[in-house]
């Protein structure tokens, strides 16, 4: 597959951004795992602060580019991660 990465966004020939979505979701899960492993006893306030800083920022990066707007892409991105 011919994929070009520019400014952290993966572009494929079809401009479907499926690979980019998968990469960002996996990175967000990795960050969540780091938080869970390293901070066992967190208050809700501290967790929300860490989540917004590390997990949510991964998911929101370039969301105007990769935001799935077609039903097929929405189904693909939700089915592959559950």
More confident residue, 64 or 20: 20
Q: Rounded to whole angstroms, how far apart are CA atoms 24 and 61? A: 8
Contact 47, 56 (CB under 8 A): no
Tens digit of each residue's pLDDT (9 = 90 or more) over 9-57: 777 777 677 777 788 888 889 999 999 899 888 899 999 999 999 888 8
Q: Rounded to whole angstroms, how far apart are CA atoms 56 and 70? A: 22
| Domain of residue 49, residue span | 4-79
Q: Rounded to whole angstroms, how far apart are CA atoms 44 and 13? A: 43
Q: What is the pTM of this model?
A: 0.68
Number of folded domains that form the chain: 1
Q: Rounded to whole angstroms, how far apart are CA atoms 49 and 43? A: 10
């Amino acid at each position: 597959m011919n994929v070009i990465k520019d400014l952290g966004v993966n572009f494929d020939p079809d401009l479907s951004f499926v690979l980019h979505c998968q990469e960002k979701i996996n990175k967000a899960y990795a960050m969540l795992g780091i938080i869970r492993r390293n901070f066992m006893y967190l208050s809700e306030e501290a967790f929300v602060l860490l989540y917004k800083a590390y997990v949510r920022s991964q998911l929101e990066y370039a969301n105007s580019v990769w935001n799935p707007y077609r039903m097929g892409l929405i189904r693909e991105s939700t089915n592959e991660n559950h």
